[in-house]
Amino acid sequence: MAYRELDMTISKEALAMQKEAKRFAMEVLRPAGIALDELHNPEDVIAPGSILWDTIRKYREMDLHLSGFPEELGGVGELEPMAGILVNEELAYGDVGLAISLGVSAMPFSLAANMPDPELRELAKAYCEDRRGKLIGCWCMMEPDHGSDWILSAQPGFDDPEKVGVPSVRAEKQGNEYILNGQKAAWVSNGTIATHGVVHLNLDPRLGMRGDGLAIVPLNLPGVTRGKPLNKIGQRPLNQGEIFFDNVRLPEKYMIVSDPSLGTPMKDLTLIGANTGMGILFTGVAQAAFDEAMNYARNRVQGGKPIFDHQSVRIRLFEMYKQVETIRAFSRRVALFNVTNNDPMQGLFPSGAHGMALKVFATETAFKVASEALQIFGGNGLSREYPIEKIFRDARSSMIEDGENNVLSLVGASYL
């Protein structure tokens, strides 16, 4: 059965974008993701000539990187919210690791687009014009000694350096520059290939984890070095790696949040946005797992008939279908609200409780559906000949990505 869309309010334009995104996801992202996943050495994922670079170029040639950027900088302005949601569901359907890499790549440049400084706006413009993948962004929050710590901002002691310590990456003001020292974790997505990072850093050690600010850091500044690409279980096409800062001199115009009392609210909003996005992406992953299982069940013959005709398989598939449809309804609803209510200057705030509930629920659902799909494949589910074991591994990673799910549940509870 072709997927039956229940939302009768979706515009023709949004449906057309969804169709294009699905084509790109299946013709470009899915095969590239499988090829990159099979590479034993993560260095090969980012080697010159890797299909990763083609993928980035094709994405940019389709202008998919321009959404949200103002037209005067070469962007296409804000997309109709539902169009953005549908496009991201589809990209993740193709390959979620690549979808995340392509999405996070925009972060420093979209921040730059909203700044008054002409040089920063020029940087955003250069990103819009870049169809070759020369400019790549990343989001650097986690550190070797501060993972969950960073996001539990409502926990007692968050502002007490004796209890929780302080972020490792420190920025000290000297004249019209900041001097950066410290290290970001191996988990930074696009960490070893990014040209620019959005970096959360410590401005005032007396305030513990609360004394943070936010900077856009050009990663070609003297003193910036990288670790090796991380080798991991899932989302292997997504490059990740450490970034080190050793007396890096950052001109002050790059410090976007220089008031330590504003760093934590800004970080909390970023976390809600990122995890709302995760809900949409992992709806796409859950759908991909369901479709693989459905297709396999119709074709695999056992006991003289396709396994879909065995009652227990039908019931399991219907249970998966129920879960995917539930998470789709929830993710679209939360995302529509959070995307349209995200302008604190105008008094519009996204819902943190819904954002966290969505991320936890969507990633758990994607993992459960992928696990059940793998079971329906029988022995073939364990084989690398079939795509389901990869989808299963990709979904498993998501329950730790952008905040471990138990910790995000604590964050969500703090909003109740």
The residues binding ligand FAD (CB under 6 A) are 104, 139-142, 147-148, 152, 187-189, 235, 397, 400-404, 406-407
Residue number, 125 or 170, with CB nearest to ligand FAD: 170
CB of 299 to ligand FAD, least distance (A): 32
Residue number, 111 or 142, with CB nearest to ligand FAD: 142
Q: Which of 139, 70, 413 is nearest to 278 (CA)?
A: 139
**Residue 258 contacts residue 203 (beta carbons within 8 Å):** yes
Q: Indicate the residue type of 326.
A: T
CB of 156 to ligand FAD, least distance (A): 11
Sorted by sequence, the CB contacts under 8 Å of residue 129 that are 6+ apart come out as: 74
**Residue 182 contacts residue 205 (beta carbons within 8 Å):** no
Residue number, 225 or 406, with CB nearest to ligand FAD: 406
CB of 364 to ligand FAD, least distance (A): 14
CB of 148 to ligand FAD, least distance (A): 3
**Residue matched to tokens 């790059």:** 254
Helix (H) or strand (E) holding 128: helix 118-129
Residue number, 181 or 341, with CB nearest to ligand FAD: 181
**Residue matched to tokens 């972060």:** 107
CB of 89 to ligand FAD, least distance (A): 19
Residue number, 100 or 293, with CB nearest to ligand FAD: 100
Strands 177-184 and 170-174 turn out to be: antiparallel
H helices then E strands: how many in the chain? 14, 10
DSSP state of 348: B
Counted residue by residue, the chain has a size of 416
Residue number, 145 or 319, with CB nearest to ligand FAD: 145
**Residue 224 contacts residue 245 (beta carbons within 8 Å):** yes
Question: Collapsing DSSP states into helix, strand and coil, what is residue 257?
Answer: strand
**Residue 269 contacts residue 83 (beta carbons within 8 Å):** no
Q: Indicate the residue type of 281.
A: L
Residue number, 70 or 279, with CB nearest to ligand FAD: 279
Residue number, 121 or 232, with CB nearest to ligand FAD: 232
CB-based closest residue to ligand FAD = 147
CB of 149 to ligand FAD, least distance (A): 7
Enumerate the β-bridge partners of residue 243. 184, 226
CB of 230 to ligand FAD, least distance (A): 9
CB of 260 to ligand FAD, least distance (A): 19
